[in-house]
Structure 1
Amino acid sequence: MPEKGSFTGKDFGGAKRRLLVFFERPGNTTSCATIDLRDMGDVSVHAYSDDPDQLAAVLRYIHEKYPEVEVELIDPRNFFYFWYVAKHHIKGGKATWIYNGRKVFEGIPSFEEVDRMLMQEQE
């Protein structure tokens, strides 16, 4: 049995721990991408959305403290994620966090809230 805090792909049926972060990006196009946060310099979000600097700081924190978590940044206007948007009542302007299929937060979490949300699977 792995020690507490260590996860492998086998712990989640072969899949990594997965965090989907829905937020509107500026512009007329929509996209989704699995981002290697090591290559990310900053995150750009719509001016009416949550604080982009805080969102970028939280995403960097997740990358540093939880490297095993696969993070996908998704524009809620992306047609391929329509069912997630409908199921979880995702609205534009507020970041929505879906962790392993469950909506766990709306807005920008503090570092303590990130720890609570990502540690819940380990308990």
Structure 2
Amino acid sequence: MRVAEKGFKKRLIVFVEQASSLVSCTPLDLKEINDFKAPSFFDDPAKLSEVLKYIREKHPDVEVETVDPRNPLFTFQVLKHKVKGGRATWVYNGKKVFEGVPTIEQIEKILSETK
């Protein structure tokens, strides 16, 4: 389903390696799940989970997708945004805005910016 069809105006892609031997081609819609658990090789998986849940609850107008950077469908974006393995990379409305796991205050600042 397209972004416009869901009524979203903002799009946030979080490139984050998934703890699996398979690479999913399906984006994860955080509004359809109750929990998000990050793999243990991240700097702080609990913090990543907290930030993603916060966005889901406080910013329903933001479409959030988590994408494994090894997904071949996103190769161009991975190269464009210089995504590094083992660290979350945040792309908001087509622009790389953060690497690692932001604090709630940092994510608020990112999401309050236009474009």
User: Structure 2 length as normaliser, TM-score?
Assistant: 0.86
Alignment-derived partner of residue 31 in structure 2:
37
For 1:21 and 1:116, locate their aligned partners in 2 and report how far apart those are by CA, in whole Å.
16
- In the alignment, structure 1 segments of 5+ residues that lack a partner are 1-8
Structure with larger Rg: 1
CA RMSD of aligned residues (A): 1.8
For 2:57 and 2:44, locate their aligned partners in 1 and report how far apart those are by CA, in whole Å.
20
For 2:79 and 2:55, locate their aligned partners in 1 and report how far apart those are by CA, in whole Å.
26
Amino acid in the other structure paired with 1:36: L
Q: Could you report, residue by residue, the CA deviation over 1:39-77 in whole angstroms, capped at 9, with x for unpaired residues?
A: 2323232x2223111111000111111110000000000
4+ residue runs of structure 1 moved beyond 4 angstroms?
none
- In the alignment, structure 2 segments of 5+ residues that lack a partner are none
For 2:82 and 2:68, locate their aligned partners in 1 and report how far apart those are by CA, in whole Å.
14
Alignment-derived partner of residue 9 in structure 2:
16
Q: What is the CA-CA distance between 1:28 and the residue it aligns to?
A: 1.1
Alignment-derived partner of residue 96 in structure 2:
103
Q: Does 1:72 align with 2:47?
A: no
